[in-house]
Structure 1
Amino acid sequence: MKGLFISGSGTDVGKTFVARHIIQILNEKYTVIARKPIESDCIKTDAGLIPKDAKVLNDACTNPESIDIVCPFRFEARVSGEKASAEQGAIVCLQDLVQAVQPTNDSDFVVIEGAGGFYSPIAQQALNSDFASALGLSVVIVVKDELGAINQALLSINAVKKHKLDVVMLVLNQIIPNDLANAEALSAYTDVKIVAFKKDQIKDFNAKVLALI
Structure 2
Amino acid sequence: MKGVFVTGTDTGVGKTLASCALLHALRARGVAAAPMKPIAAGASDGRINDDTLALMAAASLSATEANDVTPVLLREAIAPHIAAEREGREITLDPVIAAYRRWAQRGAFLVVEGVGGFKVPLSRSLDTVDLARAFNLPIVMVVGLRLGCLNHALLTAGAIKHEGFRLAGWIGSSVDPDMNARDENIDALRRRLGAPCLGVLPYSPAPDAAALAAELDVTWLLS
Q: TM-score range by the shorter chain?
A: 0.7 to 0.9
Give the whole-Å Cα distance in 1 for the aligned partners of 2:87 and 2:61: 32
What's the TM-score once normalised by structure 1's chain length?
A: 0.88
In structure 2, the residue corresponding to 1:7 is in which secondary structure? Answer: strand
- For each residue in 1:148-170, what CA deviation from the matched residue of structure 2 results, as whole angstroms up to 9, or x when unmatched? 11111101111111111111111
Bigger strand fraction? 1
* 1:49 corresponds to 2:47: yes
How far residue 100 of structure 1 moved from its aligned partner, in angstroms, is 2.8
Unaligned runs of 5+ in 2: 205-210
Superposition deviation, residue 192 in structure 1: 1.3
Amino-acid identity (%): 26
- Structure 2 partner of 1:189: 192
Contact 1:8 1:15 in 2 (8 A): yes
Q: Which residue of 2 aligns with 1:121?
A: 121
* Aligned 8 A contact 2:141 2:169 in 1: yes
Q: CA RMSD in A?
A: 2.2
CA distance in 2, matches of 1:63, 1:78: 24
SS in 2 for 1:187: helix
Q: Following the alignment from structure 1 to structure 2, what is the Cα–Cα distance between the partners of residues 84 and 56?
A: 22
Q: Counterpart in 2 of 1:10?
A: 10
The DSSP-based 3-state class of the residue aligned with 1:153 is helix
Listed as ranges, the gaps of 5+ residues in structure 1 are none
2:201 is matched by which residue type in structure 1? F
Taking a change above 3 Å as real, the CA distance of residues 104 and 144 of structure 1, as seen in their structure-2 partners, is same
Deviations 1:178-202 (A, max 9, x none): 4422111122223111232225994
User: Counterpart of 1:146?
Assistant: 146
How far, CA to CA, are the matches of 2:121 and 2:7 in structure 1?
13
Matched residue type, 2:108? D
Greater helix proportion: 2
Q: Which residue of 2 aligns with 1:83?
A: 82
Shift of 1:138: 0.6
| Cα distance change, pair 115–99 in 1 and its aligned pair in 2 (3 A) | same
Question: Which residue of structure 2 aligns with residue 180 of structure 1?
Answer: 182
Residue 77 of structure 1 deviates from its aligned partner by 1.4
Is the 1:32–1:62 contact (alpha carbons within 8 Å) kept by the matching residues of 2?
no
- Partners in 1 of 2:131 and 2:175 — Cα distance? 27
The letter of the residue matching 1:97 is V
User: What is the CA distance between 1:86 and its match in structure 2?
Assistant: 2.5
Q: Alignment length, in residue pairs?
A: 209
Q: Judging changes above 3 Å, is the alpha-carbon distance between structure 1 residues 210 and 188 closer, same or farther for their aligned structure 2 residues?
A: closer
Q: What secondary structure does 2:218 align onto?
A: helix
- Structure 1 distance, partners of 2:131, 2:99, is 12
Tell me: CA distance 1:40–1:67, structure 2 relative to 1, closer, same or farther (3 Å): same
Change (3 A) 1:124 1:109: farther
- Deviation at residue 8 of structure 1 after TM alignment: 0.5
| CA pair 192-164 structure 1, distance change in 2 beyond 3 A | same
Partner in structure 2 of residue 205 of structure 1: 215
Following superposition, the deviation at residue 204 of structure 1 comes to 5.9
User: Corresponding residue for 1:96?
Assistant: 95
Shift of 1:130: 1.3
The within-5 A match list for 1:134-173 is 134-173=134-173
Aligned-partner SS, 1:55: helix
Q: Work out whether residues 25 and 213 of structure 2, in 8 Å CA contact, stay in contact via their aligned partners in 1.
A: no
The amino acid across from 1:187 in the alignment is: R
Contact kept in structure 2, 1:14 and 1:142, CA below 8 Å = yes
SS at match of 1:121: coil
For residues 124 and 60 of structure 1, do their structure 2 counterparts lie closer, same or farther at Cα, with a shift above 3 Å needed?
A: farther
Q: How far apart, in 2, do the equivalents of 1:183 and 1:204 lie?
A: 19
